[in-house]
Amino acid sequence: MTDNFRSRLRNGETLLGTMVTLSTPSTAEILADVGFDWLFVDGEHGPLDTSDLLAILQTVSRRVACLVRVPVADEVSIKKVLDLGAAGVIAPQVNTAEHAANVVSWSRYSPVGTRGVGLARAHGYGLRFQEYVETANETVSVVVQAEHARAVDNIESIVKVEGIDAILLGPYDLAASLGKMGQVDDPKVVAAIKHVTQTCRAAGVPLGMFGVTAKALTPYLECGYTLIVGGVDTLMLGTSAKRMLSDLRANLTANSSDSTSSD
């Protein structure tokens, strides 16, 4: 069920997801049917525009929770994806407590926030308006990303912002901001991640992490990260295709060798 995703997240349940970047709704549909707890729909990088996001959410959001990363963590972007029916928002590059508080406010209706009121897919195009606005503040997830050196410096104040449901580490952007492009295992990057980890755990704020492989994510699972993003649709497609091609070529070579030996 998608409507209890926020409570599962806040209760510390481990939630396994993957990243959707391709604009074809069938890709998200396949991933939803695999059995992931949630999908990270990436509206920040890649080609997804509003119509793409709508098509993806229409296809899968009633079977699996879809959290959408907005291109920029501002009021209009957040309002738009939530009105499309996203189960939650992922706000990139949140580096201060003030920005984090704004993200929460833009994601919540009055009296606890300032989210604009409209009639859209989330509201059943008006047919379920009252039901949605009465429950959205309790069901919509707000995840902020700590992916810059400034966020690390300010993490003690960020975790105190009421209404943040989880903090998701962005290891690659964090490494780049520390002058360690692509070097996510560099001691400086590891130390920054450790600081964020310890601060969030002390504050009782759930932690999330992206990893290209299950192996890369294992250490974070072991130390209590619960919002997990494993892999990317494009990379999984390419990796699986390469493996298939390699296996076919290996079989072809083996059959050719067998044929030669029998002659």
| Confidence band of 253 (pLDDT split at 50, 70, 90) | confident
Percent of the chain past pLDDT 70, that is, above it, reads 96
pLDDT digits (tens, 9 = 90+) for 206-235: 999 999 999 999 999 999 999 999 999 999
Based on the number of CB atoms within 10 Å of its own CB, is 219 exposed (0-12), middle (13-18) or buried (19 or more)? exposed
Rounded average pLDDT over 89-106: 98
pLDDT digits (tens, 9 = 90+) for 10-53: 999 999 999 999 999 999 999 999 999 999 999 999 899 999 99
Rounded average pLDDT over 152-160: 98
Whether CATH 3.90.1720.10 fits 5-262: no
| Pairing status of strand 207-211 against strand 166-169 | parallel
Q: How far is CA 182 from CA 72, 74, 93, 174, 186, in A?
A: 22, 27, 17, 9, 9
Rounded average pLDDT over 131-138: 97
Tell me what pLDDT residue 13 has: 97
Residues serving a catalytic function are 45
Which of these, 259, 232, 204, 170, lies nearest to 41 by C-alpha position?
232
pLDDT digits (tens, 9 = 90+) for 161-196: 999 999 999 999 999 999 999 999 999 999 999 999
Q: Are 41 and 86 in contact (CB under 8 A)?
A: yes
- 3-state class (DSSP) for residue 183: coil
